[in-house]
């Protein structure tokens, strides 16, 4: 029987994170589901119930991905418990959209800390051990807006573009050790965050997408599973765009 692999997924309870978690479980992974420090065990159980996720396939880890020391300690505990972590998916993210003229330092820093500095916090404690084991996969969830830019998102686009530069650079460092580092860059995706948008804004966005629809979270999750699979063993430093043709690099 194939050995269960261990994945650590941040933002696991969010729209895309839930789809990633479910898809990885379907691929025989055990998932350490990172929920934010604002959640508790009751929220986690509710999520398991509502999403019909088998509790034997997942463990909750409540963590603020912006807290460097907390991340290091938590990852040390997890690697002691499970011996190794095969896959890290950096998916947690926030937006604080506003034009740059109006942007406060707090809005800038919140987005950079959560979307970009979290990559340092989560990856640094894991990368050396992945290299030592000579196997490991890291998938970072960026955004089409990190590739093309977007009005009102200087903070978000800077962080999401930064993830791509980070991943390409780390891919060089991991290559000899069979540790791949890749990016998935979704376009607008049907999650609760997007569902909360005004109908006319949503229709306008769909109208700009050549495929005239949003991505489904499951489509993003499939791309993550592919990059984590043996079939993608020779892919590293790559950005896989799922945006319905909105931006072609
Ligand atoms: P959600 O808001 O549904 O999920 C984001 C998750 O990140 C939440 O579960 C949230 O936890 C978690 N999170 C936020 N801050 C922290 C923190 N400090 N510590 C730990 N966890 C934190 O968004 P999506 O599922 O839509 O987005 C997932 C990723 O995909 C994000 O990186 C986003 O930028 C990216 N993306 C999304 C697109 C879309 O259209 N939806 C398009 C392109 C990219 P909690 O709920 O507990 O606050």
Q: Give me the mean pLDDT over the 108-120 stretch.
A: 98
Question: Domain with 237 in it: what CATH number?
Answer: 3.40.50.720
The distance of Cα 159 from the centroid of its chain, to the nearest Å, equals: 13
pLDDT number for residue 196: 80
Where b means 16+ CB within 10 Å and e means fewer, 40-75 reads eeeebeebbeeeebeeebbbbbbbbbbebeebeebb
Q: Is the pLDDT of residue 192 over 90?
A: no
Is residue 46 situated within a structural domain? Answer: yes
Q: Is the overall model pTM greater than 0.90, yes or no?
A: yes
Position of tokens 């509790």? 55
57 is a domain residue: yes
Task: Grade residue 244 by pLDDT with cuts at 50, 70 and 90.
Answer: very high
* 53 inside domain: yes
Q: Which domain holds residue 70?
A: 5-185+220-241
Percent of the chain topping pLDDT 70: 99
Distance CA 220, CA 144 (A): 12
Which amino acid residue places its CA nearest to atom 33 of ligand 1?
93
* 22 found inside a domain: yes
- Taking residues 179-201, what's their average pLDDT? 92
Q: Whose Cα sits closest to atom 13 in ligand 1?
A: 92
Q: Is residue 213 a part of any domain in this protein?
A: no
How many structural domains comprise the chain? 1
Coil, strand or helix at 31: strand
**Does residue 67 belong to any structural domain of this protein?**
yes
Residue 1 pLDDT class (50, 70, 90 cuts): low
| 36 assigned to some structural domain | yes
User: In Å, what is the CA distance from 203 to each residue of 188, 198, 210, 213, 241?
Assistant: 12, 9, 13, 9, 21
* Residue to mutate (ligand 1; options 36, 68, 95, 141; most atoms within 8 A of CB): 36
Distance CA 123, CA 137 (A): 11
* Span 115-144, average pLDDT: 98
pLDDT at 3: 74
pLDDT score, position 120: 98
Are 224 and 238 in contact, with CB atoms under 8 Å apart? Answer: no
Tell me, yes or no, whether 215 lies in a domain.
Answer: no
CA neighbours closer than 13 Å in the CB half-sphere of residue 5: 21
């Amino acid at each position: 029987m194939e050995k269960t692999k261990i994945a650590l997924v941040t933002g696991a309870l969010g729209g895309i994170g839930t789809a990633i978690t479910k898809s990885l479980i379907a691929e025989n992974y055990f998932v350490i589901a990172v929920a934010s420090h604002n959640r508790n065990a009751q929220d986690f159980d509710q999520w398991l119930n509502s999403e019909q996720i088998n509790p034997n396939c997942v463990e909750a880890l409540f963590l603020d991905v912006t807290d460097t020391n907390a991340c290091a300690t938590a990852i040390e505990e997890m690697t002691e418990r499970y011996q190794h972590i095969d896959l890290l998916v950096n998916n947690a993210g926030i937006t604080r959209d506003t034009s740059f003229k109006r942007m406060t330092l707090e809005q800038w820093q919140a987005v950079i800390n959560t979307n970009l500095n979290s990559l340092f916090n989560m990856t640094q404690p894991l990368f050396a051990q992945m290299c030592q084991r000579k196997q490991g996969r890291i998938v970072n969830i960026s955004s089409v807006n990190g590739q093309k830019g977007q009005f009102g998102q200087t903070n978000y686009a800077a962080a999401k573009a930064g993830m791509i530069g980070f991943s390409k650079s780390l891919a060089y460092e991991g290559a000899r050790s069979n540790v791949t580092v890749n990016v998935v860059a979704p376009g607008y995706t049907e999650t609760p965050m997007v569902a909360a948008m005004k109908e006319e804004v949503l229709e306008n966005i769909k109208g700009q997408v050549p495929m005239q629809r949003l991505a489904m979270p499951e489509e993003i999750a499939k791309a993550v599973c592919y990059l984590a699979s043996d079939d993608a063993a020779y892919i590293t430093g790559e950005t896989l765009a799922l945006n319905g043709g909105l931006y072609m690099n």
